[in-house]
Structure 1
Amino acid sequence: MPSPLRARLTAVLALSLGALLAVTALVSRPASAASTLNQLAKAQGRYFGSATDNPELSDTAYTAILGSDEFGAITPGNSMKWDATEPSQGQFSYTKGDAVVSFAKARGQIVRGHTLLWHQQLPGWLTSGSWTAAQLTSILQNHIANVAGHYKGQVYSWDVVNEPFNDDGTYRSDLWSNTLGTGYIATALKAARAADPNAKLYINDYNIDGTGAKSDAMYNLVKSLQAQGVPIDGVGFQGHLAIQYGFPTNMQQNLQRFADLGVDVAITELDVRMVLPADATKVATQAQYYTNVVKACLGVSRCVGITIWDYTDKYSWIPGVFSGQGSALPWDENLAKKPDVYGAINTALGGSGGGTPPPTTGCKVAYSANDWGSGFTATVTITNQGPAISGWTLKYSYSGDQKLSQGWNGTWSQSGKDVTVTNTSWNGTLATGASISAGANFTYTGTNTAPTAFAVNGTTCT
C-alpha cells in the first residue's frame, strides 16, 4: 500500500473495533494468499465491496456470499436515506440501517454511509413544506447531526451530498439549491464533520467517471470547497456504465486529477448493463469495461476501493429502471459467478481468474410466474451452457389444467399438459453463455404448480 493511503486509514482510530480491523486488514494479506475479489483488492491496498438492501438480508444464500471474503465493504442502498431515517419531522428511525451495519460489523466489513443529502427519496413533510432558507438550513443540519451522529464511529465514510450536478455541469435545480443556493453543499459537509469527525466525507455523482463538463464541474467544486476550508475527503464516482454508450473518456487520468487535489477517490456504485439478450460479444465488451475500471482504480494510488451496486442480477436495480436492459453484475440471478465477468475482475485485481469454467454441454432454464388467481404470466429464460446453437426448442409440462392463451418472444404451442416453445426468426442463435427470455399468458383452475423439468433441443436443463 502506498504510504499516503496507509496514513489515512490508520487515522480512522475512532471506528468500532470490527470496522477498524476491516480497514487495517487492507494491508495485512500477502498477495500469494489472495483469491477472492476483496482479498485481491486488499493485496493492492484497496477494498472491494457491494451494496445491499434490507429485503435481501432475508435471503440466506445471498447473504452467505455477501458476508464472505469476496467483499470487504458494504453500502446500504436505501436504509440510510432521508425517507428511511426521518420519515416524520424530528422522528428518526434507524432499524433498517442498523441491520446493515450489524451485518457488516459481524463479518469485519467496513460500511460506506449512503447518503445524507440527496434530491430524491425525501419524505413528503419535507418536499411539501414552504421553508425559508433559515428553516431549511436548520432542518438539514439537524438531520445530519442526528443520522451521522447515530452512526458515529461505525462507518468508514459518508456520501454526504449525492448527485448535485446536471450532466452539462450546471447545478441541479432541487429543494436544496433552490432554497439555499449552492452553499448547501458546504453546510452539509460541515455538519457531517461535526457529527462524525473521523469518517471520510464524500461527494458522490454519476457520469463523472471520465473527463467532460460534469466531471469538470465536480473538480471545480472540490477546489472551491478546499479554498473555503470546507471539509472534503473524497469524491465518489458511481460508475453506472452501459456497453452501448462507450467507455468513459480518460477515466484513469480523470481519477488522478482529483487525487492530485489531495482527496481520495472511489468507485462507489459500479455496474455495467447491456441491452438484452446477452450474447458472447456483449459479455466480452462488458468484461473489458470491468477490467478497465479496475485497472483505472489500481493506477491511482488514492483510489481506495471499488463497490459494485449489489453483486447479483437477482437484486439489480437496472431492469426496473432501464426497460430491456440488465445482466449488469458479476453474479447471475441464481447467485452463480459469471465466468467471463467475474474472471475479468479477478484477473484485473491480480488473480488467476477465479471463475467457474462454463460447462461444455447443457443448458439452464429459469422459470417464474406472475399469478393473479385465475391466470398467470409465465417467463422462461434459457441460458446456453454448451456450444453455440442456431435454432432452439424448449419443452416442459404442467401438472394441472393450465391452458395457453398467448405467447411472445417465441412460437408457443400446447398439447395436453405439454408446452413447446421454439425460437423466432430473430432470437434463434444462442452463443455459449448467452440467454434468451420468452413469456406467455395462461389460464387455470385449481392449483398452479410450477413445472420441474425442462429440455432444450432434447437436452435436459438444470
Structure 2
Amino acid sequence: MRKSRILLAASVALASLACVSSQTRRAEPSLKTVFKDAFYVGAALNYQQASGKDPKAEAIIAQHFNTITPENLLKWGNVHPQPDKYNFKPADDYVALGKKHKQFIIGHTLVWHQQTPDWVFESQPGQPVTKDKLLKRMEEHIMTVAGRYKGQINGWDVVNEALNDDGTLRKSKWHQITGEEYLAKAFETARKADPKAELYYNDYNMWKPAKADGAVKLVKSLQAKGLKVDGIGMQGHYGLEHPSIQQIEESIVKFSALGKVMITELDIDVLPNPSNRQGADIDATFEFDQKYNIYTTGLPNEVQQKLTKRYAEIFALFHKHRDKISRVTFWGVTDADSWLNNWPIKGRTSYPLIFDRNYQPKPALQAIVQAVQKK
C-alpha cells in the first residue's frame, strides 16, 4: 500500500508533464522553496563552481539549493597534499560561496581510505607508519581543517565508506594500522575541533540490509562511547530500476532511530553497467568500450521518461519521510559535472542529474515538484 501511494504520486506527476512547455519548466519554483518545510536540498560543487568561475551553475545553485557539499576540494589529497603543506584557497572560496548564498555548508570528508596521500600511512616510502603516529597525523589533520572552518562549516562527513557491503569493517590502511581505533578518534577529534558542527558517518549501498545493519552497529558503538554522531549519510547512487523504493525506505527508517538521515550523493545512472556490482567503489573501473557509451548525442525520450519517473518516485519517498530526512544532496549540478561521465568507465556521456549540459532543467525537475505538490 505504501509503495502504491508513492507510485500513484509519481504517475500523476508524469501525466501532467505532457502539457507543460519547456518555458514553463524554467519558471518552476525553486527546489529549496518547494521543500522548505521538509529538508535541505543541495548539490555537490566542483572548484569552478565553488570559486565563482561558472556563473550559470552559480545561478542554479543560488536559485534551487540551500545546502552545498564540496565534491573533492576538502578531501585529504586536495587540502593537505604534503606533510607540511595545506591548500586552503579552494576550500576558502567554497565556504565564501556558501556564506554568500546563506546556505547550510557541508564539509566532505575528513577521513577516507581513498584520495588520501601515501605519505599519511608511511614512516618512509614503502614502510608503514606506527599506529600512534597515524592517529596523531589524523588528529592534526582534523584539528587543522575542521578547526579552520569552525563556526562556518555546519556539518562534516567525518568518516566516509568504512564498511564493506556485508557490514564488516573495510580492511583499509586506516584499519590495518589502527584497527577500529581510528573511527572513534576521528569523531572525538572532530567534535573537539568544532563542538557545534554536526558530525556524520557517510557510505554507499546503504540500502543493502547487511550494510545498513553494519552502519547501525558502528554508529551505536560510537554513540555508546559517548561520542557525538548526529546522523548517517546514505549515498544515493541509484539506477533506473535498482534499488527498489522499499529497500531505500527500510534503511531510512532504520537509520532514523539513531539520528538524522541524509541522502548525500544523489544521482541516477542511465547507462549500461559492465558489471553486476553496484555502489560507488572508485577502484571498480573498466576499459572504455563504445557499447557502454550509447547516448553520445542525447538521451532518447523513452529513457528520459524512465529517469523522470524514477526521480518522481524517489522524491515522493523522501517527502513521505521528511520527518526523518534532514538533507538531500545531488552529486553534481549539471550532467556535464557528474563523476559518472568517468566512472566506472572514463570518457562516457552520462545523464544522471536534473539539469542538462546546457544548464537547463530536465523533465525530472518538474516531476519532482509535482510528485510532492500533487500528494
TM-score where L is the length of structure 1: 0.65
Instruction: Return closer, same or farther for 1:270/1:239 CA change in 2, 3 Å cut-off.
Output: same
Structure 1 counterpart of 2:304: 283
Structure 2 counterpart of 1:206: 204
Structure 1 counterpart of 2:357: 333
Structure 2 counterpart of 1:121: 115
Asked whether the equivalents of residues 239 and 271 of structure 1 are also in contact (C-alpha less than 8 Å), the reply is yes
Please state how far the C-alpha of 1:174 moved relative to its aligned partner.
1.1
Structure 2 counterpart of 1:60: 55
SS of the residue aligned with 2:373? coil
SS of the residue aligned with 2:165? coil
Please state how far the C-alpha of 1:244 moved relative to its aligned partner.
5.3
Q: Structure 1 residues 85-94 or 142-151, which shifts more?
A: 85-94
- How do 1:303-342 residues align onto structure 2 when only pairs under 5 Å count? 303-323=325-345, 324=348, 326-339=350-363, 341-342=364-365
**Structure 2 counterpart of 1:183, which letter?**
E
**Structure 2 counterpart of 1:231, which letter?**
K
Matched, 1:98 2:96: no
SS of the residue aligned with 1:250? helix
SS of the residue aligned with 2:72? coil
Instruction: Return closer, same or farther for 1:100/1:351 CA change in 2, 3 Å cut-off.
Output: farther
249, 260, 267: which one aligns with 1:264: 260
Structure 2 counterpart of 1:344: 367
Structure 1 counterpart of 2:225: 228
Aligned-pair identity in percent equals 35
Please state how far the C-alpha of 1:125 moved relative to its aligned partner.
2.0
Q: Structure 1 residues 193-202 or 286-295, which shifts more?
A: 286-295
SS of the residue aligned with 2:135? helix
Specify which structure has the higher proportion of strand: 1
Asked whether the equivalents of residues 122 and 129 of structure 2 are also in contact (C-alpha less than 8 Å), the reply is no
Structure 1 counterpart of 2:140: 142
Deviations 1:176-213 (A, max 9, x none): 111111221111001000101111100000110x2421
Structure 2 counterpart of 1:87: 81
Please state how far the C-alpha of 1:271 moved relative to its aligned partner.
0.4
Please state how far the C-alpha of 1:49 moved relative to its aligned partner.
0.4
Structure 2 counterpart of 1:398: none
Please state how far the C-alpha of 1:216 moved relative to its aligned partner.
1.3
Distance, in Å, in 1 between the alignment partners of 2:177 and 2:235 is 26
Asked whether the equivalents of residues 252 and 299 of structure 1 are also in contact (C-alpha less than 8 Å), the reply is no
Distance, in Å, in 1 between the alignment partners of 2:202 and 2:313 is 20
**Structure 2 counterpart of 1:273, which letter?**
D
Please state how far the C-alpha of 1:291 moved relative to its aligned partner.
2.3
Distance, in Å, in 1 between the alignment partners of 2:344 and 2:301 is 21
Asked whether the equivalents of residues 269 and 307 of structure 1 are also in contact (C-alpha less than 8 Å), the reply is yes
Structure 2 counterpart of 1:51: 44
Aligned length: 314
Deviations 1:271-300 (A, max 9, x none): 001124333332233223222332332233
Distance, in Å, in 2 between the alignment partners of 1:221 and 1:189 is 12
Please state how far the C-alpha of 1:43 moved relative to its aligned partner.
2.9
105, 111, 136: which one aligns with 1:111: 105
> Which of structures 1 and 2 has the bigger CA Rg?
1
**Structure 2 counterpart of 1:73, which letter?**
T
Instruction: Return closer, same or farther for 1:351/1:81 CA change in 2, 3 Å cut-off.
Output: farther
Distance, in Å, in 1 between the alignment partners of 2:373 and 2:92 is 34
Deviations 1:397-417 (A, max 9, x none): xxxxxxxxxxxxxxxxxxxxx
Instruction: Return closer, same or farther for 1:122/1:143 CA change in 2, 3 Å cut-off.
Output: same
Distance, in Å, in 1 between the alignment partners of 2:70 and 2:208 is 28
Asked whether the equivalents of residues 150 and 193 of structure 2 are also in contact (C-alpha less than 8 Å), the reply is yes
- How do 1:121-200 residues align onto structure 2 when only pairs under 5 Å count? 121-129=115-123, 130-200=128-198
Asked whether the equivalents of residues 249 and 317 of structure 2 are also in contact (C-alpha less than 8 Å), the reply is yes
Distance, in Å, in 1 between the alignment partners of 2:121 and 2:245 is 34
Matched, 1:273 2:269: yes
SS of the residue aligned with 1:136? helix
Deviations 1:32-59 (A, max 9, x none): xx92101111132x11101101123412
SS of the residue aligned with 1:321? coil
Q: Structure 1 residues 54-63 or 240-249, which shifts more?
A: 240-249
Specify which structure has the higher proportion of helix: 2
Asked whether the equivalents of residues 247 and 289 of structure 1 are also in contact (C-alpha less than 8 Å), the reply is no
Structure 2 counterpart of 1:13: none
Asked whether the equivalents of residues 211 and 249 of structure 1 are also in contact (C-alpha less than 8 Å), the reply is no
Asked whether the equivalents of residues 244 and 274 of structure 1 are also in contact (C-alpha less than 8 Å), the reply is no
